[in-house]
Structure 1
C-alpha cells in the first residue's frame, strides 16, 4: 500500500497486477468553502475538447492541464502554470514517496450530469508505471473500475470530499475507470465536484513557464 502521510491511513485494492490505494487528503489541505470557491473559479470559460471518432467534441465537464501539456483522447491539451493554491497539494504529493509529480489536471463537475466516460489514461508521456494520484473535493461521486477485456465492473468506490486515490502498477493496461453520469433530477441535485489528478511526466516533456514543480 501507499505510505502514510500526515497520519493518513490507506486501504488497498489489487487485481491483475494493478493496485489502488485509497485514503484522505490531510485536513490542512482540504478545501474549506472559501478555498473550494477559489479552485472552482479556476475553471475555463468553455468545456474541454476531445476527438471522438474523428470529430472534435466538447467534454461533459471542464478540464485544464497545469505544468505540462497533456495529449489524451486525440488532442494535445496545452498547460498553464500550476496555480499557487495548488502548490501545497503538489508539495504534499511529492512527499509521499511515490515519485516526482510534475503535472496537474483539473476536472470540474457542476452536477451529476457532468461525468467522465470509461477510459484508460494515456501513459505515453509518463514515467513508466508511475502512480497517478487523484484527489476529490466537493460532492461524493462514484469511481468505477472495469476489467478492460470484459468490461465487467470490478469495483465501485464512492469518493467523498477529501478523498485521495492512487492508481498504480499496471492499472492503466488492465482496467478502465470512469465517473458515471447521474441522470434526471437526481443528477441535478448532486453538488459541485473538483477532481485534481497528479502525474509524473518524463524529462523533456512540454512544460509551461513557471509550471513545473521544483
Structure 2
C-alpha cells in the first residue's frame, strides 16, 4: 500500500511539473524581468540612432503603462496622447513609440504579442559566429504597423538575447543583424542599452533610462 501511495504521489508531482513547464519565449521574457513590469508606474528613455558617428535620431519618451499615457519630446515639439484610445489621431507619433519601445522591451513582446515562433536548440549567431539557441518569431499578416515581420533571436542558456536578425516583411534578402549588448538593470528590468551592426557603423542605443 505504501509503494502504491508513493507511486501515486510521484505521478501527481510529475504531472504538475509538466503543466508548469514554461515555453522558451516565456523563459526569455522572464530572464529580462517580465515579472517586474506590472509594478512600473512610469518609464522614461531616450531612443538614439547614430550612423557613421553622426547622430541621426534622438527621441525622449515618457510612458505610464497603467494609464497608457505617452509623451514624446523632441528638439522641435512635445506630444502627449493616450496610446490605447488616441493612437489613430497620433499615428506618426504612435508608430515611433511602438518602434522605439519595441527595441527597448522586445523580450516582453514575446509574450505580449500575437505571433508564431519556432525554437532551434543550436544555431550560429550572425555577428559573433558563436553557437547559441535561436527562436524565429513571425508576425501574422495584419498585425500592427509592420505585418509579416520576422525576427531571428539568438540567446544563451541564460535566455538573455545577444544578437538578432530583423527581416522586414519576412524578406530573406534585406536582413538586418544587430547585437544586443550593454545590458543594465533598472528596477528589476534587464535592458540592452546598445545595438550595433557587424562593422559598428550603425548604433541604436538608449540613454536617460529611468523606471519608477
Normalised by the size of structure 1, how large is the TM-score? 0.28
| Structure with greater helix percent | 2
Whose RCO is larger (CA < 8 A, sep 6+)? 1
Q: Higher Cα Rg: structure 1 or 2? A: 2
